[in-house]
Every structure is written in C-alpha cells, then in structure tokens.
Chain A
C-alpha cells in the first residue's frame, strides 16, 4: 500500500499510533466516554495544525460558546484568540437547529479560511435537529459525504456511553474513514484514560490500547507505553 498524504495531528503520540497521521481528507469519528478528553483532543488537533503546520482549521461547536472554548484552550496555554486574529482558526457556534444552515455555514467557513481541518463537537447534538431517526440518518450521512468532498480532514465527536448514540446514525459504519475510541474507565477505586484506533482507512494503525495523560500542555498519548490495567 503506497503511503498516503497525511494530516499530522501534532498531538503527542497520536501520529505514532496512526503511523504518521490521519490520511488527508479522511472523515474521522472520535467516540469517547464523558471526561475522556474528546474536546481537548479536537482543540489540540486544530491548535497544533495551525501552530506547527500552518494549516487553518474550523471548530464547529454545537454546545459550548466561543468564550467557553477559548477559556478551555487557555487552561493549556493555547493562544486561540491569536490564531483567530491570524485567520488560522475559526470557532463557529450554531444555535438554530437548521441542518441545512449548518451545512452551508461549515462550507462557507472552510472556504473563507481555506481550512484544511474541521472539527464538529459534539456530534451527538445532531439528534436534536431531527424528529425522526431515519431523517437524521439520511442527512448526517449526506453531511459526511459533503465533508469528504470539500477537501478537509474532518473530525466529529460522539459519546460512547449514551446507549442510543453508540453509533452516530451510521456515520461510523457507512461514511467515516476512521473511528478513534477514547476510554475513561472506572477501575476498582480510580479512573484510567486510554485510546484505541478502531479503524482508519488508508493507513496501518496500532492494534493496541494506549494510555493517555492529560497534562498542563494538553493530551499526551503514551504511544510506546504498555497498558497494564484491564480496560473492559
């Protein structure tokens, strides 16, 4: 298999377990337990994309305000405001539950910044846009196809512990090129964080679960570290 062109995430350790990064223009679903670090990982993907690789990114927040996201990023010392001023980052918050408007906004914002990276967080909010599951399925799959068409490496987050949202309306199975799982597992008297790549089209991946640390600088994946705890 020829090595594909890749989008390096810049997240310490993540590119190692992806054998160099996410294949360019892949659509990836990051599914994780609450508190597993999904938002942190997504922001880090956009932040390092801009800072290390000069690639602009769009963050579509379906839940939190721009101020909340900037405040969260500042906890890790990431100057998101500066990146917004340099047009290397855009935070889009959509309040109206109008799916077509959301799609148009995303397309426009990517074109305006000539963005190479996109994050939609949290994807589980999509369910609020639709009354019927079948509609949700059709429209979300069409969003996935659009994202693949517009030439961006896109990440959509999903909760894995909410029973009905274990699949994001079939996105993971039918459209997504990759699925990354983030676990925040309760052991006897503590929690442990870990990451695994369920699938990633076009590249070799690590088959193991890897421990995660959330440090003052952001998420760090201990790619060479064996995980001894049993994560079920």
Chain B
C-alpha cells in the first residue's frame, strides 16, 4: 500500500502541470493575500488527497467494493439473509472482499465458490495475510475444469455447479462443523447456478439454503450478477431480508 502511495506521489508531481493541480498552482502564485493563500493551500491539499483516493479506487477496485460491503452489511441486524447484486465491473472482486470482510469481523463460516477455484482464492488472500483457517470452502469449479485440487482440510470439492444435491450435502456437513456463535455463509454466485440449472431448481435450492442459514443464525449473503433477469431477481429476493446493490 505504502509503495502504491509513493508511486502515486511521483505520478502526481509529474501531473501537477495539468488539470486541477495546475489550477491550484496558478492560484498559489498570487502571493498578495495571505489568507487567500492559506485557503488555497488547504484546497490544494484537499484536492490532492481526493485525487489520490480517486486514483486508488481506480487502481484497487476491490477496495471500493470492500467499502460498499462494509457500509451495507454494518447497517444490518446481527443475523440476516441478503441478496448482494453486483455489476460486471465489481463482480470479479466481490468474492475476495466478502471473505476479507467476514474474516476481519472475526467470524467463522462457509464460502461456496462457483467461479474461482478455491486454491486461487486461498493463494490470493494469503498474500494479503487473510487467514482462512476458520473458513470452510466449497469449490464447484476445480473438478469440472480439471484445475489443481489442494489437499486442504477446509476445502470440499464438488463435481459441478449442477450437482445441487451434492452441494447441499456438503453444506450440511459444513454447517455441523462451524460451531462459533458468530457465523457467516456466502454463496458466490447464484448467477452461476442459474447457468447450470433451471430457474425453478435454483429457487428451490436457495429457499432450502436460506431456511437452513436462518435456522442456524448465520449472517448470509447470496451474490448475483446485476445482469440477471428482473423476474428471477424478484423471485430470489423473496427468500432474503434485503437486496443490496454494490
């Protein structure tokens, strides 16, 4: 992070002759009015900070999504079931940011990944020093795609996202294992399940899972791509307390 900021500082020096920063420099050249100078200096600093933030958001889209998740979920009561809808720009970082949020909240739980191999998620998050020791991962990607399967105690591999019975069975096993009071359950994503299964089957599956998650008092998030048909979204949202757009 420090390195990114340092690099950004260089970029900003180089860019100081253009745009808003150039304007701020021109204004500071008018040395006659001290008060105005001070004011301009403050504005210039503020603008610079805003610009850095904006650039960081640009360079780290995950951070923006992470903040949005934080804002949305912190407002909710202690236990909830939500449908989190994200567009295609934000979708790629949603999984990691959700895990980081829940791990950061010291919760233990279950994460179903239907898009990214569990090994990739684990490796990526390990680099960011996110400890997944208390997260049970269910991976429906790797077996089908022939990707590497880690011999890890906390990863369960399912043949395909269409094996909903097997997936449900794995969830049941994991629910028994997650013992803490503060627990989470994430299914990323309903959109992938809709690719492999009929809408009716996915609805039935989500209804069953949300019921279980409620009964066991999990903080529960189902993710969905915003490009999903409105009618499907309406049906899936019936099983949730709230629809959150990220």
In the assembled complex, A83 has its CB within 8 A of some CB on chain B:
no
Q: Which residues on the B side are within 8 Å of A192 (C-beta)?
A: 165
Docked-complex contact A226 and B201, CB < 8 angstroms: no
Chain B, interface size category, equals 10 to 19
Is B43 interfacial (CB 8 A cutoff)? no
Per-position 1/0 for A190-227, Cβ under 8 A of B: 10100000000000000000010000000000101111
Interface of B is mostly: helix
**Residues B169 and A228 in contact, CB atoms below 8 Å apart:** no
Cβ of B169: which chain A residues have Cβ within 8 Å of it? 211, 222, 225
Q: A227–B165 contact, CB under 8 A?
A: yes
Do A225 and B172 have beta carbons less than 8 Å apart? yes
Measured CB to CB, the closest approach of chain A to B118, in angstroms, equals: 22
A228 touches B201 (CB 8 A): yes
What's the nearest-Cβ distance from chain A to residue B201, in Å? 6
Q: Which of A102-142 contact B (CB under 8 A)?
A: none
Are A229 and B172 CB-contacts (below 8 A) given A192-B165, A211-B165?
no
Cα distance A228–B160 when bound, in Å?
Answer: 14
Once A225-B169, A225-B172 are accepted as A-B contacts, the answer to whether A230 and B201 lie under 8 Å apart by CB is yes
Which of chain A's residues have a CB closer than 8 A to the CB of B163?
A: 190
In chain A, what residue has the closest Cβ to B172?
A225
Which of B160, B165, B197 is close to A225, meaning CB atoms less than 8 Å apart? B165
Decide if A228 touches B172 in the complex (CB within 8 Å).
no
A211: chain B residues within 8 A (beta carbon):
165, 169
Give the residue name and chain of the A residue nearest to B198 (CB).
A230
Q: How many A-B residue pairs have CB under 8 A?
A: 33
Binary per-residue interface labels of chain B (155-178) against chain A in the complex, 1 for a CB within 8 Å, 0 otherwise:
000011011110011001000000
B143 at the interface (CB under 8 A from A): no
CA distance A102 to B172 in the complex (A): 47
In the docked arrangement, what's the CA distance between A190 and B163, Å?
10
Interface membership of B228, Cβ < 8 A: no
Q: How far is the CB of B193 from chain A (nearest CB, A)?
A: 10
Shortest A118–chain B CB gap in Å is 33
Contact B168 A225 (CB under 8 A): yes
- Shortest CB distance B140–A (Å): 13
Verify if B46 is at the interface (C-beta below 8 Å from A): no
Tell me if A229 and B208 are in contact (CB < 8 A): no
Within 8 A of A (CB), among B176-228: 197-198, 201, 204-205, 208
Residues of B within 8 A of A225 (CB): 165, 168-169, 172
Closest CB in chain B relative to A60 CB, distance in Å: 34
Q: How far is the CB of B79 from chain A (nearest CB, A)?
A: 23
Give the chain A neighbours of B198 by CB distance below 8 A. Answer: 230
Q: How far is the CB of A181 from chain B (nearest CB, A)?
A: 17
Which residues of B are found within 8 Å of A226, using beta-carbon distances? 165, 168, 208
Interface string of A150-191 (1 = CB under 8 A from B): 000000000000000000000000000000000000011010
Q: Chain A 55-66, CB within 8 Å of chain B: the 1/0 string?
A: 000000000000
Closest A residue, CB atoms, query B201? A228
**Which B residues lie at the A interface, using CB under 8 A?**
159-160, 162-165, 168-169, 172, 197-198, 201, 204-205, 208
Given contacts A190-B160, A190-B163, A226-B208, 15 further A-B contacts (CB under 8 A): A187-B162, A190-B159, A192-B165, A211-B165, A222-B165, A225-B165, A226-B165, A227-B165, A228-B197, A228-B201, A228-B204, A228-B208, A229-B165, A229-B201, A230-B201
4 nearest interchain CB pairs?
A: A228-B164, A211-B165, A228-B165, A225-B169
Chain A residues close to B by CB (< 8 Å): 187-188, 190, 192, 211, 222, 224-230
Instruction: Enumerate 20 A-B pairs (CB-CB under 8 Å) in ascending A order.
Output: A188-B162, A190-B160, A190-B163, A192-B165, A211-B169, A222-B165, A222-B169, A224-B172, A225-B169, A225-B172, A226-B165, A226-B208, A227-B165, A228-B164, A228-B197, A228-B205, A228-B208, A229-B164, A229-B201, A230-B201
